[in-house]
Amino acid sequence: CVRVGNLCVVAGGARQVVNIDMAKGALSTGRDNHRLNGHDVSRVIFQGIDIFKSWSRLKKYGPYDLLISDPPSFQKGSVNIQRDYYKIISRIPQLVKPGGMLMLCLNSPDLDDDFLRQQVLEYCPDCQLVGKIENPKVFKEAQQGKGLKVYLYQYR
């Protein structure tokens, strides 16, 4: 995730942050954002990888205290989140420390809240729902339930 989430984690004092994105441009923007915010970029690792093909590189820096998953809903030839999100969720035990936190995001108008909750129940039942982060009122959805869904879980 090279978006706002990792900026907050660094600003909050994380010892190390690993940013992963297939898009090199997104990683470059992430680097720029950290510099613009005065962050020590030596604490930030940028990996231009396809996580679905590079689990060992992802595990290399773990286990993680916090995992933020905000995958694209669809990328031609690589990601179809309805088909692929379980692959991320089923790897949580290999990636996250017991007691670690997860922020799981889903930004697909075609998939509702139940989709993500069911994926977690089925593929990582050791995750306990902590809560849902509601979207700010300024981001009013044209159609209820079609916008960004963000859930917090704790891995037990």
Structural domain that includes position 104: 53-156
Task: Tell me: do 89 and 19 sit in the same domain.
Answer: no
Distance CA 37, CA 95 (A): 28
Task: Tell me: do 93 and 124 sit in the same domain.
Answer: yes
Write out pLDDT tens, residues 111-147: 998 999 999 999 999 999 999 998 887 877 777 777 8
Distance CA 63, CA 107 (A): 26
Distance CA 54, CA 131 (A): 30
Query: What's the domain count of the chain?
Result: 2
Measured torsion, CA atoms of residues 73, 94, 98, 3, in degrees rounded to the nearest 10: -30
Q: Which secondary-structure segment (H or E) carries 128? A: strand 127-133
CATH of residue 124 = 3.40.50.150
8 Å CB contact between 50 and 78 = yes
Which pTM value belongs to this model? 0.86
Task: Tell me: do 30 and 68 sit in the same domain.
Answer: no
Task: Tell me: do 93 and 23 sit in the same domain.
Answer: no
Write out pLDDT tens, residues 44-70: 889 888 888 888 888 999 899 999 998
Write out pLDDT tens, residues 59-100: 999 899 999 998 877 666 677 888 989 999 999 999 999 999
